[in-house]
Structure 1
């Protein structure tokens, strides 16, 4: 299925005006508080069911011993119907269904740190664990890449949402595949930070959320690096992207609102790299994640 959809000239997280964002968020927070009792009763019923996932891992992976209290709060959604730039997008602005995600969701951690800076390069904390995600993948999947998205939330507890995906046969596929996107993804891994800032694209979508919140928070593709500070950390078998939500005033307000209402929200996040030339299209989704009524108070504290 193809769909014509004109993207904004700059895809960004600044969906609301910076001159009105604080006022809007304050008013919305008050209105949402009035609805809290109703929303809570509805969402408690939803939380009794484990979120459905299109691609659940069936093997008992060793690192699953970590963050067990949030295991029912994340899953891997189906990316088949996510709209991305098609092969003819430069001519007709037509978006097409992405098809299956290239990556496989392995694990999610919710961590809090002593300082905001301590959250950068979160992979080093995983390496210290007895059952490390990265060491496991290095041993079992030496030709694959682990992509880590570290969403650094704007709160006093310095909470990070850390997700790990396995990109199978990443290093061999980029050399042998005829896929334009496989080559683009390899460029993303090798490129400088400025290039990555201009190409990394996050596609959010509410599954369930209070109506007012869904009106305030945009559900459209965002080139997050154009408005937020992003840090990149690369190694032989992983690529980590740290997304600092506090680095934009508007994003900080929106992030704080979402954080306050995380236990009442079910939200999908898909990742891609923006194709801008004919030989970089069509786009594909390389990672997907669903957060389901996430309780951030269950964060595990990490220390240097």
Structure 2
């Protein structure tokens, strides 16, 4: 097609405008984006290194965590409802930003509101304001333990409005309970653990266990109470006897339940490598003070430990 005269003029004006721009004008946007990415990576690196469970080599590491390939997880593919076929998930929707392995005298609920929570305190100081999803697996016992996995969405690539993950974040607890899925893979471990847990299994966490959701401006924390199921507790306590010889992959996904929601994608995954129970860091459970959160979900100072106000309700 031969361009019309008017189009040629328009193209010429655009070229002139671009040519007459200040030398640094065209690169300012990309430079700003690059700077934001650097800040985000610095924040994420600090969050990872500050975790109480250290990052290790995914193949040979012990007593730590790693990021397994998303392709190891087979999820519902684009034609699942017609063919029941599953496909590798591929890259996670969110980035891993650390793991905490904690011990306390009582259950750690809404740990991101803990006054000394390192993730929230780092967010308050950082110019980067990513959105965080924290999965808090609460393990009952004489001492309470929590394995907390953090995933973040950078400001330069936020969770897309209208996406299934965005709907999960913004929806009510009934929707979340019907969609939050855990996919397990036993990478290494004795036969008894593989038999009890299943070498490759999936379940809707909100259907099998009590889950509590704490949605604030910059994060969503999901507290998963393993003690709420006698069956899950029994299996877990059997597995805990072998933790130092077990490596397990855990993938988290919002389940697709209609064709337009396919294919499924992991929003995050973690490989826990032969973790030692005694390596958990002790955390004092706050009894009087917590980080206050205003009704619009913004982080504030300290306030009373009330659970009755709108500021601490899930939404």
* Map of 1:194 onto structure 2: 174
Deviation at 1:89, TM superposition (A): 1.2
* Map of 2:128 onto structure 1: 141
Q: Does 1:280 align with 2:269?
A: no
* Map of 1:93 onto structure 2: 84
Identify the structure with bigger relative contact order (alpha carbons < 8 Å, sequence gap 6+).
1
Q: Which has the larger radius of gyration?
A: 2
- Scaled by the length of structure 1, the TM-score of the pair is 0.72
RMSD (CA atoms) = 2.1
* Map of 1:128 onto structure 2: 116
Cα distance in 2 for residues equivalent to 1:252 and 1:62: 30
Q: Does 1:164 align with 2:150?
A: yes
Deviation at 1:163, TM superposition (A): 1.1
Distance 1:220 1:66, change over 3 A: closer
* Map of 2:197 onto structure 1: 217
Deviation at 1:170, TM superposition (A): 8.5
Cα distance in 2 for residues equivalent to 1:173 and 1:192: 17
Correspondence for 1:80 among 33, 53, 71: 71
Work out whether residues 159 and 166 of structure 2, in 8 Å CA contact, stay in contact via their aligned partners in 1.
no
Distance 1:173 1:113, change over 3 A: closer
Q: Could you give the per-residue CA deviations for residues 59-90 of structure 1, whole angstroms, max 9, x where no partner exists?
A: 7516624426x444111111123111112211
Deviation at 1:267, TM superposition (A): 0.5
- Superposed counterparts of 1:8-157, under 5 Å: 60-61=45-46, 64-67=49-52, 70-72=54-56, 73-116=64-107, 119-125=108-114, 127-129=115-117, 132-137=118-123, 139-142=126-129, 144-157=130-143
Work out whether residues 112 and 119 of structure 2, in 8 Å CA contact, stay in contact via their aligned partners in 1.
no
Say which is worse superposed, 102-111 or 263-272, in terms of deviation.
102-111
Deviation at 1:199, TM superposition (A): 0.5
Structure 2: 5+ residue stretches without partners: 1-40, 57-63, 287-315
- SS of 1:174's equivalent in the other structure is coil
- SS of 1:61's equivalent in the other structure is helix
Structure 1: 5+ residue stretches without partners: 1-56, 176-181
Work out whether residues 159 and 165 of structure 2, in 8 Å CA contact, stay in contact via their aligned partners in 1.
no
Work out whether residues 249 and 271 of structure 2, in 8 Å CA contact, stay in contact via their aligned partners in 1.
yes
Q: Does 1:290 align with 2:279?
A: no
Deviation at 1:243, TM superposition (A): 0.7
Cα distance in 2 for residues equivalent to 1:124 and 1:112: 17
Q: Could you give the per-residue CA deviations for residues 3-27 of structure 1, whole angstroms, max 9, x where no partner exists?
A: xxxxxxxxxxxxxxxxxxxxxxxxx
Work out whether residues 103 and 166 of structure 1, in 8 Å CA contact, stay in contact via their aligned partners in 2.
yes
* Map of 2:163 onto structure 1: 183
Cα distance in 2 for residues equivalent to 1:77 and 1:273: 18
Distance 1:99 1:171, change over 3 A: closer
Cα distance in 1 for residues equivalent to 2:133 and 2:177: 16
Work out whether residues 45 and 97 of structure 2, in 8 Å CA contact, stay in contact via their aligned partners in 1.
no
Cα distance in 2 for residues equivalent to 1:233 and 1:120: 9
- SS of 1:77's equivalent in the other structure is coil
- Greater strand content: 2
Number of residue pairs matched by the alignment? 235
Cα distance in 2 for residues equivalent to 1:234 and 1:60: 24
